[in-house]
Amino acid sequence: MDPFSRYSRQILVSQIQREGQEKLADARVGLVGCGALGSVVANHLVRAGVGLLRIADGDYPEIHNLQRQMLFNEADVAAGIPKAQAAAFHLGEINSVVTVEPQVLSIDEDSLPKFALGLDVIVDGTDNFATRFLINDFAVRAGLPWVYGGVISTSGMSMTVVPDDGPCLRCLIPELPNREQTPTADVAGVLSTTVAVIGSIEANEVIKLIVNPGARNRGLVIVDVWDLIFERLEVVRDKTCPCCGRGPSAADGT
């Protein structure tokens, strides 16, 4: 039997075809955070047939997560299984061909280089800008593409970063925002439909980076699912960016 038969409908997509499916099967993707966005991203990528999905998350599922974190169920909450391990179990039942590597840890300056070892792309499933800045600065330094995504209430955004070929996240947001500027779901709430849309965009960007990097999104995608607004804004690479520009750079350690 053709090992790609399960992807027959995906292979029919003109942008994928057999060649693209083979690239997906060889790809190694890292997912930082497997909560709301991460659940959606992981679900799509495993069903799409990436070769390896490495998941980093140090949290445990709680009952209020189930409203939007689509990989988990009440049994996971009752058992107190770490999110990374619970996700790996459920993803294995979806597609046993894909290698899912759960890592029960939080990403910081020490753990990120080890987590990223051998990866082709990193995708953001986090809920805070401190971790995103860590990912961005490391990815720029390592020349590793990554996909940013964020959601709050009914709106969300996503941006794809390819080092030395366009802007990085800090060209858009130079300094770490304070808590008042970036309310969390604990304060402003979030709709699961918002998560589903942005997570799907992120997963789609990962697929494009693997199959045809030239097709990636080169702007900032902004979505409001309640008012049904979709925008794509141009982001220009900042020559004075503290990460990828000529200014004092977190990417090169100066």
What's the pLDDT at 166?
95
Strands 229-234 and 99-103: unpaired
Under-70 pLDDT residues of the chain: 180-181, 247-254
Q: What are phi and psi of 58, to 5 degrees?
A: -100, 0
- Map out the domains of the chain as residue ranges: 5-234
Tokens read off for 14: 């003109």
Stretch (H or E) spanning 219: strand 219-224
The second-level CATH assignment, the architecture, of 5-234 is 3-Layer(aba) Sandwich (3.40)
The per-residue pLDDT for 184 is 75
The predicted model scores a pTM of 0.94
The span from the CA of 123 to the CA of 32, in Å, is: 6
Distance CA 73, CA 156 (A): 24
| Interval 36-91: pLDDT, tens | 999 999 999 999 999 999 999 999 999 999 999 999 999 999 999 999 999 999 99
Angle at the Cα of 223 from the Cα atoms of 219 and 226, rounded to 5 degrees: 170
87 neighbors 36 (Cβ within 8 angstroms): no
Instruction: Write out pLDDT tens, residues 152-169.
Output: 999 999 999 999 999 999
Q: And the tokens for 17?
A: 């075809």
pLDDT computed for residue 251 by the predictor: 45
Provide the pLDDT for residue 228.
97
At residue 254, the pLDDT reads 37
CA dist 17 and 189 (Å) reads 39
Quick one: 233 exposed, middle or buried, by C-beta within 10 A (0-12, 13-18, 19+)? exposed
